[in-house]
Every structure is written in structure tokens, then in C-alpha cells.
């Protein structure tokens, strides 16, 4: 039996994790600063993943040549990608940030085609296209005019926020493609995630030790923000990242990244619940396109 349906479910589960991660992280990046908040969550998640890998004795699953590829994947996908993601989240909010991050799907599909020789059937391309169309439509019409809730506000220059969001998407896509051969060689997803997140933690701690003002925290931790940081790290990096790494080992990069990129649609009802502002009809049309696109991909198998 093909492993792809399981991979797709894992990718969808990761999207759910990242939906709530974005909501939890938004106040944290404003309180600590984007770089400091990302460092806190990466260090915590790295410690948890290393402990789990050691307890379950999963280190032996890593191929001999895995370290270089996983550290490279960590550098572009987490150190650069996640830091840019947090910077964009601070500037343009979780909803806009999510749609920009969704562009990691076509980026990953292109990289997988060029570097890994992956192919996509016509049905899969149609499904991926419907999902991306739904994502863009849902976010484009995701807020009614006049909504000024803190989750919808733009801080600073919108164009710079867009560049940061696209940088995060590119880093995520490149990191996924770089990790794929290691997973195909038999690496356990949890062990691979432990290396990726653990190495990113070391790099971010090194930057903290340097005399860079942008790497320092803007405010001291409080119990509420410590809880938000731990929750964000657990959902986004421990669970979400591991689910995506597992999915990459079992499925096509483009499909996995497309399904994990439906966060912009999932986030609509969450933001509606928090802000009390009902998304427009166009937003729900986008959600319907995402459901149809996901169905096309599942029916293909």
C-alpha cells in the first residue's frame, strides 16, 4: 500500500499545528522581538526533540552522511526561514503571513522537480493548483473593510513584510528539499528534526552571544509569554516540524508542502472567533477550493 495518504494526513496535521502556532506567536514576537522569540522557541523545541530521540534511541537511524545535509537544511529552513517568518509575522500579522508562507508549496514543487527528479501527475497538479488558488482567494478576501483588530494591523512597511514572508517560504521549501534525501536513506523523522532544530538552536545562541542589538530580547519574560513560547514551540517545531519531516520522507515534496500550506484557510475561523469579525463570502469560497483540491489529491491515490 502506498505511504502517500499517510504522508498527506501528516502534512494536513502540520497545517493545523501551524495555524495555532501563528496565533500563539503573534503577541510573543511583539513582546520579545522576532529574533529573540524565535531563539526561545527553537532552543526549547531542540531540547525536547533531542531528549525524545535519545530516550527512544533513534540516533542510529541517521545515515553517515546525514549531518551536513540536515545542518544545511536547518540553516536555510529554520535559522533563516523561521526567523524571517517571525519577522514577517510581527509586521503583517498571522493571516497575511500565512498566505505568503503558502508560496513555499510551488517553490518546493519546483525545487523537487529540478533537484530530486520528482514528477507530478495531471490530477496532482490540478489539486495543488486548486489549493493554492483557494489559499490566495481566502486570504485576499479574508477580511472585511475597516477591520482593525491587532491581528490584522500592519506594522511598518508592508512591502518589507512581504519580502520577509517570501524569504521564509523560500527557506522552508529549500530546507525541505535538502532534508528529503536523508529521509529517503532511512533517517527517523524525529531524529532528523532533532538535528535540524538542535543545530538551529546552537546558531541562534551563538548570534545571541554576539554584540548584535537585533539579536537581544526587547523585554523580560513573563509567565504568560513563557507559556505562549512553550506552546508555540511544541505545536510549531516539535509536532508540526516533525510531521512535515515524516511526510517528506513518505511523499512528494510538492504535494506535502502544498497540503501543509493550507494554514491561511484554517486560520480564518480562528481569527473570526478571536476578533468577532466574520470573513467575507470570498474567504469561504477559498476554503471550499482548498477542500476540493485536497479531495482531488486524495482521490488520485
Q: Where are the alpha helices (DSSP H) in 141-279?
A: 158-184, 189-209, 223-233, 242-250, 253-259, 263-275
State pLDDT tens for residues 215-248.
899 999 899 999 999 999 999 989 998 998 888 8
**pTM (two decimals):** 0.83
State pLDDT tens for residues 65-100.
899 999 999 999 999 999 999 999 888 888 778 878
Name the DSSP class of 279. P
Percent of the chain with pLDDT over 90: 39
Q: Which residue has the higher pLDDT, 139 or 157?
A: 157
Question: Grid coordinates 496535521 are at which residue?
Answer: 13
Q: Which residues contact 298 (CB under 8 A, 6 or more apart)?
A: 5, 8
Instruction: Please give the Cα distance from 216 to 205 (Å, whole number).
Output: 10
Question: Grid coordinates 527557506 are at which residue?
Answer: 171
State pLDDT tens for residues 182-204.
998 989 999 999 999 999 999 99
Q: Residue 301 pLDDT more than 70?
A: no
Residue 209: CA count within 13 A, CB half-sphere: 6
State pLDDT tens for residues 94-142.
877 887 887 787 788 778 778 877 776 777 788 888 888 877 776 666 5
Reading the block at residue 231, the C-alpha cell is: 506552546
pLDDT for the residue 148: 56
Instruction: Please give the Cα distance from 259 to 253 (Å, whole number).
Output: 10
Reading the block at residue 287, the C-alpha cell is: 476554503
Q: How many beta carbons lie within 10 A of that of residue 276, not counting itself?
A: 9
Instruction: Please give the Cα distance from 135 to 66 (Å, whole number).
Output: 34
pLDDT for the residue 4: 55
Instruction: Please give the Cα distance from 89 to 168 (Å, whole number).
Output: 10
Instruction: Please give the Cα distance from 90 to 218 (Å, whole number).
Output: 13
The mean per-residue pLDDT over the stretch 11-32 comes to 90
Q: Residue 50 pLDDT more than 80?
A: yes
Amino acid at each position: 500500500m502506498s505511504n502517500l495518504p499517510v504522508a498527506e494526513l501528516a502534512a494536513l496535521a502540520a497545517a493545523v499545528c501551524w495555524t495555532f502556532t501563528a496565533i500563539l506567536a503573534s503577541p510573543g514576537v511583539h513582546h520579545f522581538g522576532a529574533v529573540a522569540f524565535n531563539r526561545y522557541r527553537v532552543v526549547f523545541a531542540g531540547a525536547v526533540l533531542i531528549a525524545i530521540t535519545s530516550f527512544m534511541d533513534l540516533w542510529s537511524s541517521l545515515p553517515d552522511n546525514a549531518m551536513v545535509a540536515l545542518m544545511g537544511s536547518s540553516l536555510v529552513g529554520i535559522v533563516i526561514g523561521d526567523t524571517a517568518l517571525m519577522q514577517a509575522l510581527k509586521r503583517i500579522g498571522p493571516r497575511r503571513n500565512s498566505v505568503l508562507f503558502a508560496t513555499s508549496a510551488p517553490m518546493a514543487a519546483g525545487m523537487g522537480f529540478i533537484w530530486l527528479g520528482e514528477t507530478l501527475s495531471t490530477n496532482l497538479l490540478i489539486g495543488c493548483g486548486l489549493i493554492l488558488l483557494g489559499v490566495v482567494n481566502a486570504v485576499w478576501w479574508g477580511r472585511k473593510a475597516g477591520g482593525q483588530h491587532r491581528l490584522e494591523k500592519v506594522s511598518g512597511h508592508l512591502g518589507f513584510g512581504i519580502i520577509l514572508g517570501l524569504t521564509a517560504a523560500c527557506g522552508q521549501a529549500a530546507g525541505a528539499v535538502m532534508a528529503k534525501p536523508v529521509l529517503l536513506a532511512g533517517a527517523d523523522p524525529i531524529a532528523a528534526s532533532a538535528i535540524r532544530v538542535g543545530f538551529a538552536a546552537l546558531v541562534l545562541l551563538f548570534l545571541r552571544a554576539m554584540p548584535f542589538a537585533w539579536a537581544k530580547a526587547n523585554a523580560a519574560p513573563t509567565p504568560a509569554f513563557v507559556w505562549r513560547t512553550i506552546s508555540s514551540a511544541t505545536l510549531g517545531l516539535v509536532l508540526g516540524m516533525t510531521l512535515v519531516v515524516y511526510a517528506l520522507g513518505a511523499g512528494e515534496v510538492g504535494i506535502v508542502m502544498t497540503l501543509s500550506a493550507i494554514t491561511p484557510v484554517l486560520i480564518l475561523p480562528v481569527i473570526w472567533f478571536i476578533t468577532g469579525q466574520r470573513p467575507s463570502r470570498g474567504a469561504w469560497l477559498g476554503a471550499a477550493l482548498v477542500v476540493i483540491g485536497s479531495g482531488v489529491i486524495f482521490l488520485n491515490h
